[in-house]
Amino acid sequence: MTTPASPRRVRCPTCGALAVYDATNPWRPFCSERCRQIDLGAWASEGYRVPSAPQPAEGEEHDPPPPGARH
Ligand SMILES: [Zn+2]
């Protein structure tokens, strides 16, 4: 069997360095554990800041759609 001469590499999303993208790199697609932690931390801090969209009160009815408007 032939194997690729060079391992697949990707750009580390955090620092931009080339990171080996295969089973030998447990932090893929990052280049190191540090970069992985940095990215996860940034993602989590943003992800938890979900803006609360105003929800219409239940039971509040607006104009009903005209008959025949629906597909
Ligand atoms: Zn990196």
The string of pLDDT tens digits covering residues 22-55 is: 999 999 999 999 999 998 887 677 655 555 677 7
pTM of the model: 0.52
pLDDT the model gives residue 19 = 96
pLDDT the model gives residue 5 = 72
Decide if pLDDT at 7 tops 90. Answer: no
Ligand 1 centroid distance, CA of 14 (Å): 5
Q: CA separation (Å) from 43 to 34, 36, 60, 62, 68?
A: 14, 11, 37, 38, 46
Ligand 1 centroid distance, CA of 36 (Å): 7
Ion ligand 1: residues, CB within 5 A, are: 12, 14-15, 17, 31, 35
